[in-house]
Structures are given as C-alpha cells and as structure tokens.
Structure 1
Amino acid sequence: MNIKNSILVRVRIAFLLVALFSMAVGAKMFHLQWVEGDHWRKQAQAKTINFRKVKATRGNIYSDDGNLLATSVPFYKLAIDPSVPDNKLYRSGIDSLAYLLSVHFKDKTPEEYKRKINDARHGKKKYLMVNPRMINYQTKKMMEDWPILRAGRYKGGVIFERIDRRFNPFVALGTRTIGYVSQESRGIVGLEASFNRQLAGKDGQALFQRMAGGGWKPLNDDSEVPPEQGWDIQTTIDINLQDVAEAALHRALKDHEANYGCVVLMEVATGEIKAMVNLGQQKNGNYAETYNYAVGQQGRTDPGSTFKLPTMIALLEETSLEPTDSIDTGNGTFRYSGAVMNDAKPGGYGKITVQEAFEHSSNVAFVMMMREHFRTKPQRFIDYLQSFGLTKSMGFQMLGEAEPYIKRPEDKTWSGITLPWMAVGYESKISPLHILAFYNAVANNGKMIQPMIVKEARIADNVEEMYQPRVINEKICSDRTLKKVRKMLEGVVEHGTAKSIRNSDYKIAGKTGTSQKLKEGRYTREYYTSFAGYFPADNPKYSCIVVIDGPKGYRQYGAEVAAPVFKEIADKVYARDIQMHKQLPRKAWEDDKGIFPMVKAGYFEDLRYLCNEMGISNHTRDTEEWVVANVSNRSISWKSKQYLPNQVPDVSGMTLKDALYILENKGLRVNVKGHGRVISQSQRPGSSVLRGSSIDVVLGS
C-alpha cells in the first residue's frame, strides 16, 4: 500500500471514530434530555431549591415591674433581584440608588455600586447581596424610600433579609443572671439557657432558592410555615435594687482587690430574688459578670462562720442548752484529736455565755459544745443538717445549681477533727444561695422555701405557665429555738462581730463568716468572707447574703469586708421602701406648733390639694390664684395675695418655685440666696414694677 492510500485509510478511520463519538454524544444528550430529564431536573431543583428553617423571634425577659431586661432586636441585610425592575424604572433610578448606597455604607464609590448592580442585571442574576453589613429597622424604613427600592419586592426586586440580635437595654447590669444567646439563638447560660424552651419559640420553614455566590433567596409560596414567637418571661428582679447591689459590691471588690464577689437579695415571705449580682476580677483588673458564683460550682466552698447558725440550731434542738449558759473558752486555744482550734481574738474570750459565743463567733466555744454533745453520735448532727434541707439541692429555677457537699461518718475522709471543723464552717461545701435560703427560713418563722427568680411565662397578656415557690421544709426547728437564734443573730449586730453596721433606724440580724481557703490540700492565709442576714430584724422583709472572696490588705474578715456591703444595700432598700419605716408617735408632731402647718403661702390649688390629702381643715371665700395661710385652731383660712399688674408682689412665705414664677412674670430678674422659703425681698411689695430690674430674694427656714 502506497503512502497516499495509507493516509486516506487513516483519515477515513479518524472520521469514522469522530462520527461515532458525535453520534454517541448526541444519543447521550437525547437520553439525558428526554429519557432521564425528569430525574435530573428534580435533582437540580433539590440542589437549588430547598425548605430552610425560619427562626422564631425569641421572647423577652422582663423585671418584676415590667422593665425590659433582654429582647430580640431585628436587623436586616439588603439584597436585590436586579432582573425584576423594568428598563424605565431601572434607568431612572440606578444612578441615585448607587449614590445613596455609597453615602450610607461608605465602602464603594457610586460608580462601583452601579457597575456591581449592572453586571448582575446583565448576567441575569436573580439575587445580589448589595452589602453584607446589617442595618437596623430605622435604616430599613429609610431605604424603602430610595429609588428602585421604593417599588417594593415585586416591582423593584428589593429583599430585606431579617436577622434577630439579642439586646440588653441595661447593658452589663445582671448580665450573667440574664445570660447570653448563641449565634444559633439558643440560650447558653443564665435565664436565657434555663428558660430556653419557653423563650425560643418554634421555628418555621419556607422555600428558598440557592443563588450564585452561595446566597439563598426566599421564594413566596403557599407551603410556608410561619414561626411561632417565643414566650416572654417575667422575673422577680427589681432593676433598681439590682443596680444598688451591683454598685455596692463593685466598690467593695475594687477597694479590697478581691478575686470575686456575689450578692443575693431575697424577699423573706415569697422567696423572690430581687437582686443577684456576680462579679469576678478580669485580667485587666476590672470586674465583670462572667460566672454565677451565687449558684454554681465555683461559688460552692467552705461557708465559714455563717454555718454556725445551723450548728447552733442543732445544739439547741438536741440539748437543754440555754443562751445564758456559760462556757469557759480559756485563752482561746483548744486542742482536739491532734489539731488546734483558735479564736480570732488574741488571748481568747475566757468565760462567756452561749449567746456571747455566737455573737463573737468563738470557734473554741463551738468545738467544745460539739465535742460534749455530738462526739459519740456524729450521724445525729448530720441528720439535723438533712432535716434542715442543707444536704440536697433546692431545685432552683436556673441551670447549674451546685449540689451541697456535707461529709458523713462513713466517708473515707472522715476523721476525728471533721465534726468540730464542720461545726465552724469547714469540711463542707455549700453555695451562697443555699446558705441564704437557710437564713431566710429563720426570718420566715422556720419555713424554708425554694428561692425563685421567674414568676411566669406568657404570650402577650396570656399567662402560659405560672411558677410558685416550693416549700422545702415547713419547719426547720421549734419556735422555742427560733426565738433564741433570732435573738442571737440580732446580738451579732448589736454587740458582736458586726456591731459596726448597727444603726438606729432599723435592726439588722445576721452572722459574719470568714474561712481560710484550701489550696493543694492546705489552708492558706487567703480568706473567703461573707455576711448573711435579714432586715428589719423585728419584722423581716428582706434577707441577703454578701460574699467577697480573697480580699487583699489588712482588712480580711467578714465583719470588715462583707458586712459593710450588706449595710449599704440594706440602707438603700430601707430608704426606698416606706412600708418598713416606723411611724413616729403622734405626740411627736402634734405638740410641735412649729411644724403645723407646713404651709405659708403659694398657689391656691396646690396648697388646698396638699391640705386635703393631709387631712388639714382649710377653707376660703376668695377665688384668687395666690394666697397666704392664716392658721387658727388647727385650721387654715386662705386669704388673697394679689397685686395689680404694675405692682411688685409680696412673695414672702412662698417656695422658691412659686416666687420665681410670679416675679419673673412681672419682668424682674431674680437673685436668690439661701435655702427654704422666702423670708425677705429687696423690692418693697406694692411698689411700682421696673421691668428688667433686679430683685434679691432671701430664703430661710
């Protein structure tokens, strides 16, 4: 075969192979298009069109008086379908729209925005994320008036994608108690996590189409399942008391350079928590709410001398001990099973009563009493603690409650010194909230109730779930013992370790606590300080516990560190709760002629209203606006105090507010000296008014 024939054969073979390949491709295309077309179209649609979850709006968290503590604020991302607007709408508005986008976002020039939208339109893209930055609702409303966008979704192609973000109106106040929300809109800690079921609502679903670039465009159709909004929860927190407690604790922590601290303020009768503050020291030295020390494991520690209250109750219930019985504590040192127990006072307290032992927190006295009455029956003491409700968790509404750790005689770590050390607050681990619940029981006539922080969950005005406090122990001890220990708790403040917080307005009952911190199996010179108690002592309304861990400096005891914080909080609570104030004896104000009546002159309607509210008899025949009071036989008669328009008025006896109103309306410039009511004026009443002239007004009592 010559070369020419060989080439022709090869060409024909190559042509045949190409023809066969083309026929195979055509056949495959036909098969894919017509035979398997429906299958692959469904597969493509499954990749690009899908049902996606639509997040439910999370419920709000409210304080006890309706203040908003946490809410979901809507934010939006701006996207458009550039193929929707017709040519006339698009051409007339694209330049203005690009300019407004550039001015608002400040990340691209108007030309760049116009080019970006034009390219998407020419490329027949159905979805374009204009800018990934989120905008708020007010900005969204503003953008809805912009060119092209004002035509809406179906004519202008605008798409506002809603994204909810959690917002706390009071910023850092009670942050850890309220809690946080994850990117998936789930509660992580605090109330957000504990009541996530109620707050989260029920997600819906809607049909979305996947667009070029990975974005998803919502498609409106009848298959959409709308989300169900989450329930709102109302807490027991009083935002004003929360602020008071946080400010007082924060100052103390900074002053003592402490590691962390917590405060819980609770209503005695209801167990409702009115304030819960947790502040821990950060690396930069500042303090922030990052952990719930009042409830969680990190706050569970040796309670120190606040635990002497349950110890004393157990002793009084078990024995015939009386507060007046004497104990000889010697020089303040006591050896027991190879260990030494010391009192805080150098040289000891000598011979003291049981009452004084509690007031001065004598460790030696408590060890001696425990040795005498419970040494041979330690389980009996543990049984008392169990009956008090101190050995098990309380079932608090918030997640993360620490289980109390109380040693038992059968434990491997039980030794000869365990019982006496437990009596003074060591070798046990209890959270501050649990200690407070016990003190609250003493204030509440022996009834120990579960602390509560959420009252109800509701949708709008419809209550879906109502929460009631659970009684943990109907009676922790006898009334006889309650009467004794309440007197002891008052004595701590009146005569004992916390006498620095005694005041004459109301009585505080409580107990200081100071315990050495255990590190690597050894007790160190670093302290955990606390004060737990209630007020007013004679009619308890609030109980409170203050904990400050690791104070630095020369003041390191509960009486010097935690107790002053308790008093600052109690003083401010007392000042704002008038129901706790004692009414003065009637004689104190009835016989003081200088006090009645507390009115002299002023605006008639205001003065008459005040007198009527106070039950003071008053009458007048005049109908003038400004009057002066004439007192006779515990009654007031009003007399007119009016002058002609061109005369200087007499403002003596008036408050500064009324005097300023009258004089300035006469065109006079008023100079004020002193405090109280007007006692003199520089221009004679009844003289001619010189508008623009000065008049000196002197105030006094």
Structure 2
Amino acid sequence: MTEADPPRRRDPSSISRARRYTPRGRTVREAAEAGEDNRARENGARDREAARRERNRAAQQESGTEDLAAKRRREAAARSRERRQRETGEIPEARTESRPAPQSTRRTARSEPVRRTGTVRSTATRRTENVGPQRRPLSRETGPVAVKPLPRLPKLGSPRRRLRMAAAFVMILLVLSGTRLIQLQVTDSAAYAAEALNQRLTTEPLPAERGAILDRNGNRLAYSIESNYIAVDPGMVEGDPAELAALLAPLLGRKASEIEPIIATKESAQGDAIRFAYLQRGVDIAVGNQIEDLKNPGLIVGDDERRVVPGHDLAANLLGFTGGDQGEGLTGMEAEYDEWLRGTDGEVSYERSQSGQPIPGAFYREEPPEPGNDLQLTIDADLQFQVQKILEQTVTDHDATFGSAMVMDVHSGEMLAMASTPTYDAANPFEVDSDEAYRDYGTQATVDPGSIHKAIVFAAALEEGCITPDGTMQVDQTITKGDQEYHDTYQHGDAVLSLAGIIAQSSNVGTIELADCIGKEKLYEYQRAFGLGEITGVGVAGEATGILQEPENWSGTSYGSVPIGHEGTATIIQMAALYAAIANDGVYVQPTVIDHKIEADGTVVEQEEPETRRVISTETAQQLQYLLQAPIAAETGTGRNAELENYHLAGKTGTGGLVVDGEYAPGNVASFVGFAPAEDPQYVVAVSVYVPGGGGGGSTTGEAFKEINEFALGYFGVRPATTPPPVFDVWG
C-alpha cells in the first residue's frame, strides 16, 4: 500500500488466515522449530471458515438480499489478498475462466511459500480427503514462475489532455471568429457599408421651376407656383396599403385603385428596392399639410410647383399643357419648347431613420435645381380673347363642328392671335370629352382650301402676262375637264367678265381658263413658292404639311379641280401666309408665334429673322391688293357681308371639302381670308369652319371676318380710310 492509498479497514478474517499459519498464537518459525504439525488444525480452521461462509450465503439467499457493505468488504479483502500475494511472490491457485464452484464444495490449499529470489521451495505436501486439487509444484529446474497479471481497471482520463483539447477547441473558435471579423471589417466592409447606407439613404428630387409663357406685352399666359408633391417609400409604409390608398384618394383626386399598386410595390422588375415613387405632383400646399398630419413614415411630402393658366381656355390649343411625373410638356407650345421651359431638376440625398426623420449629422448632399427659361409669344392676349369669342359664336350660329381663326402681322409674320374650337380648360386639361379638344385646327387640320386658293392663279396669271389687271375674257357658265363638268355658282350665262369680275364672283370657269394659260408646271411652281405642300414652321407642335399634287400626277379632272382648290389640302395658316405675301408686296414671310426667349437670369435671346422670299413682283402684288377688294366691294361679290364701314377690306371667300377616311364628309369647309386696310395692308385675318350642313364662305364666315378686322384695326389704332371704297366694273 502506498501513501496515496486511503487507509483500509482491517478485515476480521485476516486474523483467522494468520492463525492458519500460526496456530495457538505461535509464529511460523516457532512452529517449525518445534516440529509441530499444524496441518490438522489448519484444515479444521479452513473447514470452519468454509462452513461459516456457507451459512452466510444461505442466509443471504433466504433473505433475498445481500449485505452491500459485506460484499464490498469481501471484494476489498480479495483485492488486498491478491496484492499481498503479488508482493510476496506467492503463487495463487489455478483459476478457470468459468464461474467458481459453490463455496461449500471448494477446497482451498495452503499456499507454498516463495523465496524472494522468485524460486519455489521444494516441500512435500500432504493431501487430505477434503483438500481440493492443487497446482502441481514446480521443480527447481523450471526457473521463475510467471505471475499472470490481473485485468486492469479502466484508466482514468488525463486532466492535462482534456485541458489541451479544450484549449485547442477554443483557439479554433477564435481563429474562425477572427477570420470572419477580418472578412466583415476589411475584405467586405465597403460592400456592407454601402448596403447599409443604401437602406438608410433617401434621394428626393428638387424640381426646377418651369419657365413662364408670356404674351407679347409680358402678360403671363402660363406659369408655375409653389406647391407640393406627394411620394411614397413603399418599404417604410405603415399599415395596410389598401387602407392608406383609400385615405389618399380624395386628397389627391385619384382613384384608390390607381394609388394602391404604387404603395404596395416594394421592388422594381429588376429586383431593386423602390425607395421613391410619385403619387401626385402639383398638389396644393394645404393638401400637403393634411397628408403630413397622417404621420405615416412611408409618405413623402416635398416642395414642387404647379402650372397655372390664368386664362383657362384662352389660347389653350396653342399653349398646350404639362403632365406626367416630371411635369413635362405634353401638347402645344409646352411640348414644342419643353427643354427650354423645364430647366434642370436638382436632388437632395440624406439618411433617414426608421421613423422617416433625417438623421442629424449623417450623410447629406444637395444639388440645387436650375430654373427654366421664359418664352415670350407674339400673341396678344386681348386680341386673342376677342378672336376666340367671335369664332366660338360663329361655330355656334352655324352648327359647325370645328373652326379656327387667326390674325397675322403682314410685314413681320408674327401671329397676333390663333384661336381654335372646340377648346378646353388648360388649367384642368384632362377633363375633356374627346382628345379632339386638344387639337389646334389652325395648324393641324388639313382641308380642301376651295376658292381661297384662286388667289395663286390670279397672281400667276398677272405675273405671267396671261391677263392684265383691267383685262377681260369670255367666260362660259360651264367647262368640262376630263369627265367632270365645272360650273359657276353665279348665273351669268355666256358673258365677258373682267378680271375683277372673275375674282368678285369667284368664277370657277374663268379661273380654270386662266390656269390653262399658266400651265400645270408653272402653277405648281407658284404653289410651292407661296408655301403649300410644306409646314410654315410657325413653332406649333404637330403642324401638318397638307397635300400638293405634282404635275405628273394630274389626271384629266385635275386641270379643273386643282386651280379652284380641290384635289389637294392645306391648313388655314398656310393660306394666311399666302395672302400675307400678296399684302407684303409679293414677299413671303415665314409665320412665327415666338417673339423672343428669355433666360432664367433675364437675358433676352433674340430670335433669328424669319425666312423671307419674293414670290411675285411688287407691281403684281399691288395690283392684286386692289382687285381683291372686289369680292367685298362689288355688287356681285361673294363677300358682301364682310364690308366694314370706314375701312377698306380685301379678301377672298372659299368653299372647300373635308376628307375623312378617304372620302369627302358631308357639308363643306367655309373660309374667308384677306387683309386690311386694302390700301396699306397691315394685318391678315383668316377664318375657317367646317359646317356639316353646308354653307358658303361668305355667308358663313363673312360676318366673323368683318368683326375680327374691326376689332383689330381699332385695337392697334389703324386710321380709318379717307376715301370711298373702289368701284369695280365686273362686266367687260
């Protein structure tokens, strides 16, 4: 036993075992010296011990339980005995692997003493009947006896090994954690930081102030005022999108079904998070305050502008309107000059908290907007109002479907008024029954010009010498070209008419005969010179070119139809420019509706001079200026109802057709185009309406032509005529 072993209780049976070898209290040596044979005593002691153990085993079997303490003592004694045998070199009895026999039949033999040298002492053994089989003694020659080691108990774990394993495991965890930290803070730090910033960052536009549209006197026809835009960050919306859309619908003037998808859509088609989407632009500031009171962090109320059109329908078809998320121009001048008017939007980027509030001291960047530029038109607001009023009355009185009227400066080509009907309220442009209300009929509607086209034939005939200003010619009541018969509306029979008479009565036959003298190629050249077949470039979006028949495309009937304004189409502004060239002494001036442009800082950008070209000689133009008074002044003239007291007017009536889907629509287009004063032309007035029920140019538009001239001449301070109107001899 070592010092580390705990003290063991003394086994009472050890005394009996000792007595086997020391009977009567004598030691083995004393017994050997005395030569006393203790074998019988020892055998008796063994028998008594075996009997005692048998009694104990029987008692334990009867009681059904074994004393656990006794069992442990026996096991401890056995271990102690085996340890002493190993220490003293005593040879244990032979054991088998099988279960030992019952103790009542097992005999124990006296162990032979073993010398410290490891050799077995040769001693004679005495057997008795009760002694069990013993191991055969070894002879001295066999040498040392090998002791079979007992099975070892399970080896206890090493604390040091466990500590080393735990330390290694902790080190592995630290290495993995450190590697991940390095990846997050060094390798991927920029990407994660950018993603985090993107989640907090909000970018809102700073709309640029749109430039104003002014009339020639500086009156604002369209301009912008301060308002709010309402936008949404779908990712920060609190509550049900459908309920929020229902709250916003009456405030924004939109259907809830249109608002809900914008609120509920959090990602774009590419999978990117949507952080900003417009719900409505240009709302009143009071409405913006109401929406802010909802306290929903997903709603964004920002500074914006709203387009104001104080005249509502005044020149609405010319001005157009804005719309869309960016407030861009959609029609009219707003669309044609959108880039000049709109400016450049800015933006502000900042970090927002979860509640939607800006984070103080966080990232903030602002790019200020650049305001748009102004556009000053040649239109006079007061004149525009009167022209538009007269036109609408004419359309109403004659049950017309649409119409247009305009006033043009003869020398500069400036459009002083451009009216169109039907029209709309440009302040509420989407409240219309039909998109036709947006159309500017003066520049976009192409019709057969009818007899107002005859002025080209008269100018070409004078210029080419086919007739003199006071010349006459035989004019029949009808004429046939191809398979078509053409006739004069005024019943004159076969008569000789002067040029003034042909113009006054708008003779189809006389005009066709003059065209025959000119020739189709030369007539086509004059048509092109007067601006037919191409846009005027007045500056209005969507201007139409009309259709001009080329000489090689003429048919047999073209020789009769083209000179009197059929088999081709034109806009009323093209016809106004044609008569302006005659009134301007034969020089064509390109029409324009732009006076000049004004930059945001107030710098005036002057416009280029309009394109001009001479079409006919001054002499021919002045002769025609005089002759064109005949339709109004002559007794047989078609425009007698346009005669104006104190002023001499010149002009021509026309009755054309409207082609719809390749066929002529019922009714006709009645027109009146001319200039005043005739002796010194200043302004061209053109009126055109489509009357499904039919009507002549003079009877339908003559009154409107007179009223517009009367107001314009008085408004611009043109002095009345000091001489009586000319007297024309229409008969030769």
| TM-score (structure 2 length as normaliser) | 0.61
- Does structure 1 conserve the Cα–Cα contact (< 8 Å) formed by 2:423 and 2:438? no
**Distance apart, 1:23 and its partner CA:** 11
Q: How far has the Cα of 1:215 moved from its partner?
A: 11
Deviation at 1:407, TM superposition (A): 1.1
* Pairs aligned (count): 504
Q: Report the Cα offset of residue 386 of structure 1.
A: 2.5
- Indicate how the Cα distance of structure 1 residues 218 and 309 shifts in structure 2: closer, same or farther if over 3 A, else same: farther
The residue number in structure 1 matching 2:486 is: 341
Equivalent residue in structure 2 for 1:467, among 607, 611, 630: 607
The alignment yields a C-alpha RMSD, in angstroms, of: 4.2
CA positional deviation for 1:399: 2.4
Task: Tell me the distance in 1 between the aligned counterparts of 2:413 and 2:361.
Answer: 51
Is residue 673 of structure 2 the alignment partner of residue 537 of structure 1? no
* 3-state DSSP of counterpart to 1:415: coil
Measure how far apart 1:573 and its partner are: 1.8
Tell me which of 439, 450, 453 is aligned to 1:307. Answer: 453
The question of 1:354 aligning with 2:502 is answered no
Give the counterpart of 1:455 among 568, 590, 595.
595
Tell me the SS of whatever aligns to 2:367.
coil
Match of 1:560 in 2: 699
Cα separation, 2, equivalents of 1:263 and 1:382: 27
Say whether residues 1:203 and 2:345 are aligned partners. Answer: yes
Matched residue, 2:314: 173
The CA distance in 2 between the partners of 1:572 and 1:214, in whole Å, is: 60
Aligned twin of 1:190:
332
For the 8 Å contact 1:61–1:68, the answer to whether it is kept is yes
Is this contact kept in 1: 2:320–2:438, CA < 8 A?
no
Q: Distance in 2 between matches of 1:58 and 1:429?
A: 37
Structure 2 counterpart of 1:432, one-letter code: I
Report the 3-state secondary structure (helix = DSSP H, G, I; strand = E; otherwise coil) of the residue aligned with 1:402.
Answer: coil
User: Which residue pairs with 1:322 in the alignment?
Assistant: 468
Structure 2 counterpart of 1:73: 225
User: What pairs up with 1:31-50 in 2 under 5 angstroms?
Assistant: 33-34=184-185, 36-49=188-201
Q: Is the 8 A contact 1:279 1:290 kept in 2?
A: no
What residue in structure 1 maps to residue 580 of structure 2? 440
Q: For 1:218 and 1:344, how far apart are their aligned partners in 2?
A: 85
Distance 1:347 1:582 in 2: 32
Call closer, same or farther: CA 1:453–1:522 in 2, change over 3 Å: closer
Relative to structure 1, is the Cα distance of residues 132 and 259 closer, same or farther in structure 2, using a 3 angstrom cutoff? closer
Which position in structure 1 is the counterpart of 2:305?
164
Looking at structure 2, the residues matched to 482 and 218 of structure 1 have their Cα atoms a distance apart, in angstroms, of 76
- Percent same amino acid among aligned pairs? 25
- 2:563 counterpart of 1:418: no
More strand by share: 1
- Larger deviation: 558-567 or 385-394? 385-394
Q: Which runs of 5+ in 2 are unaligned?
A: 1-169, 233-249, 254-274, 425-430, 725-732
1:405–1:382 distance in 2 versus 1, CA, 3 Å: same
Residue 370 in 1 paired to residue 515 in 2?
A: yes
Distance (Å, rounded) in 1 between the aligned partners of 2:231 and 2:359: 9
* Separation of aligned partners in 2, 1:65 and 1:306: 32
Q: Which position in structure 1 is the counterpart of 2:441?
A: 293
**What is the deviation of 1:584?**
11
- Partner AA of 1:42 in structure 2: A
TM-score norm. by structure 1 comes to: 0.64
Unaligned runs of 5+ in 1: 1-18, 81-103, 108-126, 150-157, 586-701
The answer to whether the aligner puts 1:57 opposite 2:213 as a matched pair is: no
Partner of 2:633: 494
Q: Deviations over 1:113-137 (max 9, x none)?
A: xxxxxxxxxxxxxx999x9997645
SS in 1 for 2:405: strand
Q: Which residue of 1 aligns with 2:367?
A: 225
Contact 2:348 2:365 in 1 (8 A): yes
- d(CA) in 1 for partners of 2:318 and 2:176? 68
Q: Secondary structure at the match of 1:528?
A: strand
2:447–2:659 contact (8 Å) kept in structure 1? no
Change (3 A) 1:460 1:231: closer
Q: Alpha carbons of 1:300 and 1:215: their partners in 2 closer, same or farther (altered >3 Å)?
A: farther
Distance in 2 (CA, whole Å) between partners of 1:216 and 1:347 is 88
* Distance change >3 Å, CA 460–CA 517, structure 1 → 2: closer
Q: Which amino acid aligns with 2:642?
A: I
Q: Contact 1:208–1:219 (CA<8 Å) still a contact in 2? A: no
Partner of 2:568: 428
SS in 1 for 2:646: coil
Query: Which residue in 2 is equivalent to 1:574?
Result: 713
- Structure 1 residues 49 and 522, CA, compared in 2 at 3 Å: closer, same or farther? closer
Secondary structure at the counterpart of residue 193 of structure 1: helix
Structure 1 contact 535–570 (Cα < 8 Å) conserved: yes
Contact 1:256 1:551 (C-alpha < 8 Å) held by counterparts? no
Contact persistence 2:342–2:371 (CA under 8 A)? yes
SS in 2 for 1:294: helix
Task: Write the distance in 1 (CA, Å) between the matches of 2:723 and 2:650.
Answer: 23
Closer, same or farther: CA 106–300 of 1 in aligned 2, 3 Å = closer
Contact residue 278 and residue 290 of structure 1 kept, 8 A: no
Take 1:410 and 1:429, find their aligned partners in 2: how far apart are those partners? 17
